[in-house]
Amino acid sequence: MRMNDGCADPHGRFWADSMAYDGTPDAGSLYRGPAWSGAVTRVFEGITIPNGPAFDRDGTTMYPADSARGPARPHSADPRDGGLGAGEESVRVDDGSPDGMTVDAEGALWTAVWGAGEVRRYLPDGTLGTVLRLPETQPAGICLGGDDGSTLYVTTARVGLPEPGPLDGAVFRARVEVPGLPTAAYRSTEA
């Protein structure tokens, strides 16, 4: 097993997901680390290739993805204890795999689409809003940053490519209209 992705939510809790090195179906889990309670909790299991999660501005919606299956299912998140509601499929990726994700200031989900050479912006209702094409097929990680939060940074990967090109494994950037959210910080004690 190995850890794959993680982030802090706006309330200071750390979330991280695990998967099998060989991609064994359903072997992965999502964990919620302590903000101030001191306990790590397995939130759900049965994930094959977990990515994300990403959170909205107030931490009441969490987007995890299982890249092996394609959907990103938003879950309601309780700001008090990090408990999650049932996820509903709203973002379906059929021509690639959702990978790195972030949420912008309007609550739209941005996701790198591994295998499709795209980064997509989905509106809060799941409607596809923006598609950015990349010259490489394996975008992996994304974030919104820069001085005004309106620069999208995209990393690409070389892993698994029989003949990687000169830009596989590079970092790209593009200007976008809606800025990202400030990065949430992990807090080991209650604020």
Amino acid at 180: G
2 marked as binding residue: yes
Three-state secondary structure along 47-94? Answer: ECCEEEEEECCCCCEEEEEECCCCEECCEEECCCCCCECCCCCCEECC
99 marked as binding residue: yes
CB atoms within 10 A of CB 163: 5
For this structure, is 99 an active site residue?
A: yes
Cis previous bond, 53, omega within 30: yes
4 marked as binding residue: yes
Instruction: Give ∠ CA 134-140-146 in degrees, rounded to 5.
Output: 75
Q: Of the residues 5, 17, 99, 104, which is catalytic?
A: 99
Which residues are known binding-site members for a divalent metal cation? 51, 99
Which residues are known binding-site members? 2, 4, 22, 51, 99
Active site residues: 99
